[in-house]
Structure 1
Amino acid sequence: MKKVSIILLMILSAFSLSAQKDKVDTKMKVKVTPDLKMAMGPDFEIDLGAHIEQAMSSIEGMFEMNFGDEEGAWKEAYQQDTEELEIPLSKPGEKGKLQVESHNGTVKISAYSGPTVKVKMIKYSKKVERESNENGMRLLSSGGFNVEAEERNNTVRVETEGWNNRVDFEIQVPTNFSLEVKTYNNGAIEVDGVNGEHSIESYNGPITLNNVSGSASASTYNGEVKATFSSVTANAPMIFTTYNGNVDLTVPAGTKFSTRMKTHRDIFTDFENFALQKTTPKKSKEGNGYKVKYEDWVEGKLNGGGAEVTMETRNGNIYIRKG
């Protein structure tokens, strides 16, 4: 287990360094040389090829996925089982909150005019074959849903318990609902038409907010962050960040905010009333010494300025669009 952990850290470090120069190709395939070895001393040698191959095999087995699959092609190898449930609210017609935590799968949330929260779960599992295969045995099932849902005082919480089986969520909520969504593997998040205060976080997948109202904070490690607002709550700070992807923000023409932006690439806007500010250094005393530091931030004001909106990406562009 220690060997696998060490190799994983080496792989992640290598990907992190390469991502600083070029955007990661999600279809990239890595071929490991079996006889790759590293000498650690006159009497100690590590067979890196064997350990990396073992580590990559362990990852694929853990998450039930093939790194070489094109988008959507993996579905052919799995059967889909669907369950739906409807969760009543303690205070129908009043503002509520939805909390979702998904370990493996996408989350799509849309607003509708009803008084309840509707949850559709799509579980992907190995196809059950009629014919026997290994040792005369045939697959009957690869497990259940492992999902919990509860409601308390107009707050609905939905959570998956395991990592091995992928479960995609399609959820409908009343229009005036705040969201707190967190995903990990295969974790693309899409929100459509919901009005509230939103906290959206994905480790591996893009985030798309369509025609939302209110305020939002959205962050991911790998994927684009795209947010389109029909209206923005005045004086509400917002944050949009990713490591590998664009940050793309669209707001109504009259929106006012002050912004801090950071990227290794370019920043674009079609707003005429967007003014950049001169970057000021941070000054501080350290003991008997003195320190001046310029941080790599671009600061500006939209329509005269307002609440602070932070936008940051390491490997992508930043777009500020007029809706």
Structure 2
Amino acid sequence: MKKVFATVALAFIAGFIQAQEYKLAKSTGRLEIKEVNHVEIEGYSGSEIVFTSRNGKKDDDERAKGLRSISSMGLEDNTGIGLSVVEKGGTIEVQQLKKMDGPDILIKVPKGVVVSYTHTSPYGDEIEFKNFEGEIEVSTVHNGVVLTNTTGPMTIKTVHGDIDASLSPNIKNPVSIVSVHGHVDVAFPTTIKANLKLGTVYGEIFVDPDFKLEIEKSGNMIKYSDNVSGKLNGGGLDINLSSTHNNVYLRKK
């Protein structure tokens, strides 16, 4: 009897997990994520984009059986996890149906896919990219951004959020990481060859002394206070780190 119960329980758990995933056979192209409030993006070596809900299964609405969830924008939950995923040519558009709150989503993305994330509402969490080797474009108003072992190329912009990044040693050109009101805190190896720009208007710039930065001069003068341009290890990649109203930190990894 116990064995039968265990088998049924395992089958139930497997079905539960299966119900929380949505897969799209795509290893190239562009993934555009718009106004999804709670999301983490992780790179992997597979050939599918995998969307996984981390909320757990939502309660069934008996009155909604046989119907599909839609939003005022005309979006349909065609994934079963609160997302609309629509492919248009080589672009996959991802949006959530709820304006506030919404599902907590992990998206596993093959490295050949370009990821674009845009968010403007005040309802979202920070967006995190982890172990991602492809191109990243991020534009947010309120969200913070966390980059862990990312390669790029990357263009990261936020208005009110902080940006914390620990970049891969295999960074690809170009890299631009910019916040208006939040701090920009970036770590990468001291061996990277780069043309480096560090900028702030009302904050300060802090650099680990192990970075041997060859400062660009203007005549016989060197200006350190708000904008620093120089070369690391003779120059190479274009890396721009900037915060208008907060501090910029460059750390060794």
The answer to whether the superposition gives a TM-score over 0.5 is yes
Deviations 1:289-322 (A, max 9, x none): xxxxxx9532222222234322221232212222
- Identify the residue that residue 30 of structure 1 maps to in structure 2: none
1:279–1:311 distance in 2 versus 1, CA, 3 Å? farther
More strand by share: 1
- Identify the residue that residue 171 of structure 1 maps to in structure 2: 107
1:215 correspondence with 2:153? yes
- Identify the residue that residue 112 of structure 1 maps to in structure 2: 44
Secondary structure class of the residue paired with 1:205 = coil
Spell out the pairing of 1:34-183 with structure 2 (5 A cutoff). Answer: 83-89=20-26, 92=27, 95-102=28-35, 105-121=37-53, 147-151=83-87, 155-183=91-119
RMSD of Structure 2 on Structure 1 (CA): 3.0
TM norm structure 1? 0.56
- Identify the residue that residue 284 of structure 1 maps to in structure 2: none
1:226 correspondence with 2:158? no
Secondary structure class of the residue paired with 2:35 = strand
CA distance in 1, matches of 2:99, 2:218: 45
Spell out the pairing of 1:260-275 with structure 2 (5 A cutoff). Answer: 260-263=197-200, 264-270=202-208, 271-275=210-214
1:189 correspondence with 2:127? yes
Instruction: Report how far residue 242 of structure 1 moved.
Output: 0.9
Which of the pair has the greater relative contact order for Cα pairs under 8 Å at 6+ separation?
2
- Identify the residue that residue 321 of structure 1 maps to in structure 2: 251
Matched residues, number: 206
CA distance in 1, matches of 2:212, 2:29: 36
Task: List structure 1 segments (4+ residues) > 6 angstroms apart after TM superposition.
Answer: none
Contact 1:123 1:166 in 2 (8 A): no
Contact 2:152 2:175 in 1 (8 A): no
CA distance in 2, matches of 1:238, 1:112: 21
TM norm structure 2? 0.69
- Identify the residue that residue 300 of structure 1 maps to in structure 2: 230
Instruction: Report how far residue 111 of structure 1 moved.
Output: 1.9
Instruction: Report how far residue 117 of structure 1 moved.
Output: 0.9
1:279–1:222 distance in 2 versus 1, CA, 3 Å? farther
Secondary structure class of the residue paired with 1:315 = coil
Contact 2:211 2:252 in 1 (8 A): no
- Counting aligned pairs with the same residue, the percent is 24
Instruction: Report how far residue 222 of structure 1 moved.
Output: 1.7
CA distance in 1, matches of 2:34, 2:180: 21
More helix by share: 1
Instruction: Report how far residue 172 of structure 1 moved.
Output: 1.0
1:278 correspondence with 2:217? yes
Spell out the pairing of 1:243-262 with structure 2 (5 A cutoff). Answer: 243-262=180-199
1:259–1:113 distance in 2 versus 1, CA, 3 Å? closer
Instruction: Report how far residue 237 of structure 1 moved.
Output: 2.4
> Max radius of gyration: which structure?
1
Instruction: Report how far residue 159 of structure 1 moved.
Output: 1.6
| Alignment-mate amino acid for residue 31 of structure 2 | L
- Identify the residue that residue 138 of structure 1 maps to in structure 2: none
| Alignment-mate amino acid for residue 188 of structure 2 | V
Contact 1:189 1:202 in 2 (8 A): no
Structure 1 spans left out of the alignment, 5+ residues: 1-81, 129-142, 281-294
Deviations 1:154-185 (A, max 9, x none): 64321235524533321111244321111233
Deviations 1:188-210 (A, max 9, x none): 11000111111112211210110
